[in-house]
C-alpha cells in the first residue's frame, strides 16, 4: 500500500485538452462567424429591442439575433415553451458535437447568473393580471431553474450526464471551466462538458442601470474616460478531455488548459479592492497551477468591464504582476454576458491562439494615466502567441483566471 501511494504521489497529473467547442454570441452563431467578427474588431452592440428601455440611462446591449435560434429546436409545442437560453445552449452544443460526435461527457459543469430570469419576471407579472391562465404558470416555473437550459441542450443532443451549475456572479463561466479542468486533472474524470450561458433579462438590465454601472455611451474598457459597461448575452461550451487519451484516439486538439486560480477579496458587494489584490491572487494561482512564470504569458484577455473601479483594480494587478504584456477586453464588442462571459472569452482566446492574432480592445481613445498597460487598441494585432490568460471577476470580490495554451501540431 505504501509503495502504491508513493507511485501515485510521483505521477504527473493528467493534462487537459479542449477537443471541441461551440459558441453563440452577439458576434455571431458559431466559431467561424465569431472568428470573422473578432478579426474585424466588429462592434456588435446595438439598441435594445426585446423590452422597453425608455426610462433607462443605458439603451444598448449585445444581443443574439432571434433568427440564429429559430431552427435550433423543432417547431413544436414543447420547444416553443423553452427559454431562449435553452436554444442558445443547444446551438452551442450542436456545433461542439459536429467535429466530435463521439464525445460523451461523464459530467457537465455550467456557469450562469440569471438562469431563466425573464421567465421569473413573466411569472410574477402574470400573478397580477386578472384572469391569468393557471395552465401557463407551471411552464414559467419549469423553465426558471438555472440547470434547465443545460439539461434541455443535453436532451436535444441525445446526451445524459450529471449536471453541476456554478452561480458565482460574473466569474461563473471561468469557475465552471476551472472546476471541469480540475475534475480531469485529479484523474476523477476523463471527459467533461463545460461552459456558460446567460440571456439578456429586463430585470437584470434595469438593475445594472439603477446601479449606474451601465453606460449611456460606448463601453470603453481601460479608457481614461470609461464610465460603465453594457450588457450582453450568449452561450459557449467546451469539450474537455484527458490529453493523453485524446491524442491516443487521434482527436483534434484546439488548446490545452494548463492552470486555474481563484480568490475572493471580501472588500465590497459591488466593488473590487482598489489594491487589485483579488485579481492578482487569482492570476498568481493560475500561473502556479500551470507551472508558468509571468513572463511566459504573451496575452491577457481581461475581464475589462469598462467600469472605473473594475478596470483600475484589474489593470493595477496586471501591471504589477506582468509588466507591459498585451491586454485587451472584448466586452466593447459584445457587452458583458455575466455568467457566460468567462466561457465565451475562453473561446475567443482559443481562436486567437490558433489563428495568430490578439483581439482588439475597441472604443479605446485615451490611456488611463494611472494604468501602465499595453492595450491592443481598436485593431487586432498579429502575434504568434502560445500562452494566454483569461480573467473573469465578479460582484462580491470573486475572481477567477485560466491559463490557455496552443499545442504544437
Active site residues: 170, 303, 336
Q: Are 164 and 387 in contact (CB under 8 A)?
A: no
Q: Are 36 and 186 in contact (CB under 8 A)?
A: no
Q: What is the CB neighbour count within 10 angstroms for residue 117?
A: 22
Query: Which residue bears the cell 467533461?
Result: 192
Q: Measured between alpha carbons, how far is residue 301 from residues 104, 268, 318, 343, 365 in Å?
A: 30, 24, 11, 12, 19
Q: Are 263 and 287 in contact (CB under 8 A)?
A: no
| DSSP H or E run through 184 | helix 172-185
What's the grid cell of residue 171?
466569474
Q: Are 195 and 236 in contact (CB under 8 A)?
A: yes
Phi, psi at 150, each rounded to 5°: -65, -45
Distance separating alpha carbons of residues 313 and 322, to the nearest angstrom: 14
| DSSP H or E run through 107 | strand 107-111
Q: Are 153 and 86 in contact (CB under 8 A)?
A: yes
> 74: closest CA among 155, 150, 161, 144?
155
Phi, psi at 10, each rounded to 5°: -80, -20
Q: Measured between alpha carbons, how far is residue 359 from residues 156, 335, 351, 378 in Å?
A: 33, 15, 9, 9
- Cβ neighbourhood burial of 138 (10 Å; 0-12, 13-18, 19+): exposed
* CA contacts within 13 A on the Cβ side of 270: 9
Distance separating alpha carbons of residues 279 and 265, to the nearest angstrom: 8
Q: Are 387 and 403 in contact (CB under 8 A)?
A: yes
Distance separating alpha carbons of residues 204 and 198, to the nearest angstrom: 11
Amino acid at each position: 500500500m505504501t509503495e502504491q501511494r508513493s507511485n501515485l504521489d510521483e505521477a504527473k497529473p493528467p493534462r487537459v485538452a479542449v477537443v471541441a467547442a461551440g459558441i453563440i454570441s452577439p458576434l455571431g452563431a458559431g466559431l467561424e462567424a465569431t472568428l470573422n467578427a473578432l478579426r474585424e474588431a466588429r462592434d456588435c452592440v446595438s439598441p435594445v429591442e426585446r423590452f422597453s428601455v425608455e426610462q433607462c440611462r443605458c439603451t444598448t446591449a449585445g444581443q443574439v439575433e432571434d433568427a440564429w435560434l429559430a431552427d435550433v429546436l423543432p417547431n413544436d409545442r414543447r420547444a416553443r415553451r423553452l427559454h431562449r437560453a435553452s436554444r442558445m445552449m443547444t446551438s452551442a452544443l450542436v456545433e461542439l458535437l459536429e467535429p466530435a460526435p463521439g464525445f460523451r461527457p461523464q459530467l457537465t459543469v455550467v456557469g450562469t447568473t440569471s438562469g431563466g430570469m425573464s421567465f421569473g419576471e413573466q411569472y410574477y407579472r402574470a400573478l397580477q393580471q386578472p384572469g391569468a391562465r393557471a395552465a401557463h404558470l407551471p411552464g414559467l416555473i419549469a423553465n426558471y431553474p438555472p440547470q434547465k437550459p443545460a439539461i434541455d441542450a443535453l436532451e436535444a443532443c441525445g446526451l445524459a450526464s450529471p449536471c453541476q451549475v456554478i452561480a458565482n456572479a460574473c466569474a461563473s463561466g471561468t469557475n465552471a471551466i476551472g472546476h471541469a479542468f480540475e475534475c480531469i486533472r485529479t484523474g476523477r474524470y476523463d471527459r467533461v462538458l463545460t461552459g456558460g450561458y446567460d440571456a439578456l433579462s429586463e430585470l437584470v438590465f434595469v438593475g445594472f442601470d439603477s446601479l449606474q454601472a451601465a453606460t449611456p455611451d460606448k463601453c470603453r474598457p481601460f479608457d481614461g474616460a470609461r464610465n460603465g459597461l453594457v450588457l450582453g448575452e450568449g452561450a459557449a461550451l467546451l469539450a474537455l478531455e484527458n490529453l493523453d487519451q485524446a491524442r491516443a484516439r487521434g482527436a483534434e486538439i484546439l488548446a490545452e488548459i494548463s492552470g486555474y486560480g481563484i480568490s475572493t477579496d471580501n472588500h465590497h458587494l459591488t466593488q473590487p479592492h482598489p489594491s487589485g489584490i483579488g485579481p492578482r491572487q487569482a492570476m498568481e494561482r493560475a500561473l502556479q497551477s500551470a507551472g508558468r512564470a509571468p513572463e511566459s504569458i504573451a496575452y491577457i484577455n481581461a475581464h475589462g468591464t469598462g467600469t472605473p473601479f473594475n478596470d483600475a483594480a484589474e489593470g493595477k494587478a496586471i501591471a504589477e504582476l506582468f509588466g507591459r504584456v498585451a491586454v485587451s477586453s472584448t466586452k466593447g464588442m459584445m457587452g458583458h454576458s455575466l455568467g457566460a462571459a468567462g466561457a465565451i472569452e475562453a473561446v475567443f482566446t482559443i481562436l486567437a491562439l490558433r489563428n495568430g492574432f490578439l483581439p482588439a480592445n475597441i472604443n479605446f481613445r485615451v490611456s488611463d494615466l494611472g494604468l501602465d498597460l499595453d492595450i491592443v487598441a481598436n485593431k487586432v494585432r498579429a502575434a504568434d502567441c502560445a500562452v494566454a490568460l483569461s480573467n473573469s471577476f465578479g460582484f462580491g470580490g470573486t475572481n477567477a483566471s485560466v491559463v490557455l495554451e496552443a499545442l504544437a501540431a
